[in-house]
Structure 1
Amino acid sequence: MAVGALGRANVVGYYPNWIAMPTLNFNKYTHVNFAFAIPTASGGLSYDNQAAMPGIVTSLHAAGTKAIISIGGWTGSGLFSPILKSTTSRAAFLGNIVAYVKTYNLDGVDIDWEYPGRQGDACNVYDANSDTSNFLAFLQDLRTQMDTTFGSRNKLLTLAVRVEPFDGPSGPVKDVSAFAKIVDYINLMTYDIAGVWNPTTSPNAPLQFAPGQGPQFSVGSAIDAWSSAGWPTGQMNLGIPFYGYAMTATKNMLQTPSNMYAPISATAPQGDKDDSLYADPCSGGPAVYSGAWQWKHLRDQALLTSAGTAASPWVRTWDSATSTPWLFNPNTNTFITYDDPQSIQLKVNYAASKGLAGTMVWSMDMDYNDELLSRKHNNNQYHDSY
């Protein structure tokens, strides 16, 4: 891996502000992104639990960790497109971001727009013709304002991005090199590739996809797509999920354990003990479960008795094509795709082999006794370039 801003591989953790966070060893992260500040129509920023931020920033800095505000997110990206089109709201947005960094003594800004030129959440406004060009111009101005206020490149500017480059009117754009000149690095969201929205069981975050099976996206394809469009691999962090998803298969998949693909029910089963019924106000659909299983609950609810051992009736299987584990319960036909220390170590090794700046975690609160985070630090120990 490339040497990051702190002289070692980046380990970026997202810190959700809607969750009571456990005690964390911040010094195991190089960067912590506060998620999320939500843009308002007038170009303002709204952040829950803001009163706690100064104390957390102080703790991060004491641990030698950079503190970054992340703006947007899945449900917080609805207004990026109209804000950037309005001269008034755009100017206010720029000023408010810079002021926020200054007020809270932050080390930079992460923009998580899901997605420029493409529909994300059903409520989000997007414009395939102008979002990406407007985003570039906005980021150029944000870089200029931060450099003017804080000194040249003294504050970080990062982006959370999907598995393909930003969209234009004809799909993903072919050249993102202009973005790379002003952005320090991108955090590749190489997860949520599979879920109940797909017709079959398949891996949430495959290292490589299986041709013709499941969605044709993966860690490998995302790195290739962005680098082919002109983004240097040394300015990428590989996103790694500390969670997975449950789906209900229509058959007992253990009858053919070499095949992790089976038709599924259109409704997700309940995931871990934190998963609750939720009705998305944007989609207008009924309240449903997400099926999400955090690593900590796979462990503390004892589906896994150790990192690599399932408790009966669950059976752990490994898919060699995608380098991912999966669990199956034959009593309920429940399939769970997730990442564990074995799959994460392979991803960290792959990122290192491609020269990436490091890795990113969604999210910090989902680990169990640092079982997953430790895979990242093992990599730091045996790569001299760190």
Structure 2
Amino acid sequence: MRFNILITAAGLALSMATQILGKPLTIGYYPSWKKAQSANVDFSKYTHVNMAFGIPTSSGTFSFDGDWFLPQVVSSLHAAGTKVLMSVGGWTGSNYFSTIIKDTTARSTLISSMVNYVDANSLDGIDIDWEYPGRLGNNCNVYDVANDTPNYLKFLQDLRAAFTSKFGAGKKLITLAVRVQPFDVNGSPTTDVSEFAKVVDYANLMQYDINGGWNNVTGPNAPFNYQKGEGMQVSFVSAIDAWTQAGWPASQLTAGLGFYGRSTIALEDMTQDPTNQYQPQSSVVPLGDSEDAPWYDACAGATANSGTWQWKHLRDQGVLTSPSSAAAPWVRQWDPVSQTPWLFNPSTKQFISYDDPESLQIKVNYAASKGLAGTMIWSLNMDYNNELLNVANSFGSGSSPSSTTSTTSTSSTKPTSSTTATTTTATSTPPATTTTSTASQTSPSSTATKTTPGGGPVVGGSCSGEGAYKCARTDGTSASYFLCLYGSWISSSCGSGTACFQSGSSITCSWPS
């Protein structure tokens, strides 16, 4: 794969050639319970759609509650040139994976069920959304801390062999939805997932639901970088690092983009400390947008609101009057570490962390620079006039929003007919628990300026010119580069096999001559 990346301080403008063998992936999840809301989606803008979810039973069979409309959807998607997979599992559908894959009979039954279902419905493959091998996840999940991950590998190897036997080598896809760290073994993420990558086509990183109502402070739902000592110590960047360092090829990863945000209730007036999005919050989660409703979680034994705000409803329910402007009394802020916007309503003390075109462009550009295969979206029914999907589709094209270097400035406009969210509440239960990582990320500290022998800065050195880029070395012998963020240099790297070249105020990631 040959690619070049041009990064400018002013606009984060990147340019990357697409993969020789095809365009970047845009994978969207299609929730079966959102059929009506998905009716107007332009499926030609997606390379793959994962139907969610097939739910396994303890015996190894599985069922999909959208069977009645699946043939029509598959026909429409194939006509648009889009591949269709059945996603098996999900947050509430992974109860029995651990017991199935350790039992020879149940494992064979599940594999046969998947092969037969793909064949009968003319599908292009199977996606497995088991996010927590070796750890609890949902309270109803059975798990085996020592054996889930090795058993999962054996299962995937057998599934690949069955697909090859039935359809031929390389004819059907196997993809995985995975959390921000590799599968667990004996309480820690495994350090080698390379054998998984040999039988799996792509792993879709779920780089969202990182902070939420399960925390005791507000924080970003999907941070690009995490801030040291604040919120969960994982991020979009650390997830890519964790998987690639464990041996998963970047070219077989997709970057997860959430087309939604999460709301909570702050215990303080966040406008009094507007540069700090980490402030005490209530354990009670408010209702989110017009599609949110209290739901009973049988596993947790409690009723809760999700607090979810889909992008389309941030836009059509009077919270945002434009992608970057909030309607009064909502106030929009931008966090330069997490590289995400957040909203606060002083009247209700509601806080919403979300992604918009600006924050998604930063993620898409970074994922392209790291050599990932494309993007994954949860979920395709949540967009508004393709405002977010167009950003996902810009992967590797060099696109950039007009103001990717936002600071913590606020934006407020006259309210429309509906400017505030309801404050109906219910007790919160966490949808996921994410462990912390020791990977180094950013913190707003500053030290004396330092330089490397090649003329570049070092991590922690002070800098001026927010958003400025510098190669670690000026002679084109290093892939490392630095970004000026919050007054300090942070480090990143060009894609595998490439080097950083300085060109005035821009840098280019390209193959060494």
- Give TM class, smaller chain: over 0.9
Contact 2:318 2:327 in 1 (8 A): yes
CA distance in 2, matches of 1:376, 1:126: 34
The one-letter amino acid paired with 1:16 is P
Deviations 1:235-281 (A, max 9, x none): 00000000111111111111111111101001101111111111211
SS where residue 378 of structure 1 aligns?
Answer: coil
**Following TM superposition, by how much is the alpha carbon of 1:45 offset from its aligned partner in structure 2, in angstroms?**
1.2
Deviation (angstroms), 1:5? 9.5
Contact 1:2 1:234 in 2 (8 A): no
Q: Tell me if structure 1 keeps the 8 A contact 2:208–2:256.
A: yes
Of the candidates 5, 16, 26, which is equivalent to residue 31 of structure 2? 16
Q: CA deviation at 1:322?
A: 0.6
User: 1:212: how far off?
Assistant: 1.1
1:281 aligns with 2:298: yes
Q: Give the alignment partner of residue 372 of structure 2, picking from 347, 356, 360.
A: 356
Distance 2:251 2:271 in 1: 41
Identity across the alignment (%): 56
Deviates more, 1:14-23 or 1:191-200: 14-23
Distance (whole Å) between structure 2 residues aligned to residue 382 and residue 269 of structure 1? 39
For 1:322, the equivalent position in structure 2 comes to 338
Tell me whether 1:146 sits opposite 2:146 in the alignment: no
- SS of structure 1 residue aligned to 2:254: strand
Letter of the structure 1 residue corresponding to residue 27 of structure 2: V
One-letter amino acid of the structure 2 residue matched with residue 363 of structure 1 = S
Q: Is the 8 A contact 1:4 1:10 kept in 2?
A: no
* CA shift for structure 1 position 379: 3.4
Q: CA deviation at 1:87?
A: 1.5
1:307 aligns with 2:319: no
Q: Give the Cα–Cα distance (whole angstroms) in 2 for the partners of residues 367 and 60 of structure 1.
A: 18
> Which structure 2 residues correspond to residues 87-102 of structure 1 after superposition, within 5 A?
87-102=104-119
Deviation at 1:199, TM superposition (A): 1.1
Which of these residues, 192, 212, 218, is aligned with residue 235 of structure 2?
218
State the partner residue of 1:198.
Answer: 215
Secondary structure of the structure 2 residue equivalent to 1:316? strand
Q: C-alpha distance in 1, partners of 2:351/2:393?
A: 30
- Could you give the per-residue CA deviations for residues 68-124 of structure 1, whole angstroms, max 9, x where no partner exists? 110000000001011112221111111010001100111111111131111111111
1:22-101 → structure 2 map (5 Å cutoff): 22-101=39-118
Q: Aligned equivalents of 2:21 and 2:48: distance in 1?
A: 9
**What is the CA RMSD across the aligned residues, in angstroms?**
1.4
Give 2:277's match in structure 1, choosing from 260, 281, 298. 260
- Residue 332 of structure 2: SS of its match in structure 1? strand
Of 349, 353, 357 in structure 2, the residue corresponding to residue 337 of structure 1 is 353
* AA aligned opposite 2:199: I
Task: Decide whether the 8 Å contact of 2:54 with 2:63 is kept in 1.
Answer: yes
Q: Which amino acid aligns with 2:270?
A: M
Query: Is residue 188 from structure 1 mapped to residue 221 from structure 2 by the alignment?
Result: no
Separation of aligned partners in 2, 1:76 and 1:292: 20
Q: Secondary structure at the match of 1:187?
A: strand
Distance 1:154 1:83 in 2: 25
- 2:147 maps to which residue? 130
SS of the residue 1:183 aligns to? coil
Give the aligned residue type for 1:242: F
8 Å CA contact 1:4, 1:358 repeated in 2? no
Q: CA deviation at 1:46?
A: 0.7
CA distance in 2, matches of 1:367, 1:24: 9
- 2:24–2:395 CA contact under 8 A, matched in 1: no
Hey, what's the Cα distance between the residues in 2 that align with 1:6 and 1:73? 31
Preserved contact between residue 2 and residue 357 of structure 1 (Cα < 8 Å):
no
Between 342-351 and 371-380, the greater mean CA deviation after superposition:
371-380
In structure 2, how many angstroms separate the alpha carbons of the residues matched to 1:318 and 1:382? 23
CA distance in 2, matches of 1:318, 1:207: 12
Q: Does structure 1 residue 377 correspond to structure 2 residue 393?
A: yes
Counterpart secondary structure, 2:305: coil
Asked if 2 retains the 8 angstrom alpha-carbon contact of 1:176 and 1:230, the reply is yes
The AA in structure 1 aligned to 2:231 is G
Q: Distance in 1 between matches of 2:17 and 2:180?
A: 21
Question: How many Å separate the matches in 2 of 1:193 and 1:202?
Answer: 9
SS state at 2:384 partner: coil
Gap change, CA 1:4 and 1:80, over 3 Å in 2: farther
> 1:207-246 maps to which residues of 2 (within 5 A)?
207-246=224-263
Residue 209 to residue 325, structure 1, CA distance change in 2 (3 Å): same
Contact 1:8 1:380 in 2 (8 A): no
- Tell me how far 1:170 sits from its aligned partner: 3.4
Q: Conserved in 1, the CA contact under 8 Å of 2:265 and 2:282?
A: yes
**1:143 offset after TM fit, Å?**
0.3
The number of equivalent residue pairs is 383
Q: Structure 1 CA distance, aligned partners of 2:126 and 2:333?
A: 40
Structure 2's unaligned 5+ residue stretches are: 1-15, 400-509
Relative to its length, the structure with more helix (as a share) is 1
In the alignment, is the contact (CA less than 8 A) between 2:319 and 2:326 conserved in 1?
A: yes
1:89/1:3 CA distance change after superposition, 3 Å? farther
What residue is the counterpart of 2:129 in the other structure? 112
Where 1:343 maps in the other structure, the secondary structure is helix
**1:7 aligns with one of 2, 22, 25:** 22
Aligned equivalents of 1:98 and 1:246: distance in 2? 40
Cα deviations by residue, 1:133-176 (Å, 9 ceiling, x for unpaired): 00000000000000111110111111000000000013111100
- SS in structure 2 of the partner of residue 213 of structure 1: coil
Match of 2:381 in 1: 365
Provide TM-score, normalisation by structure 2. Answer: 0.73
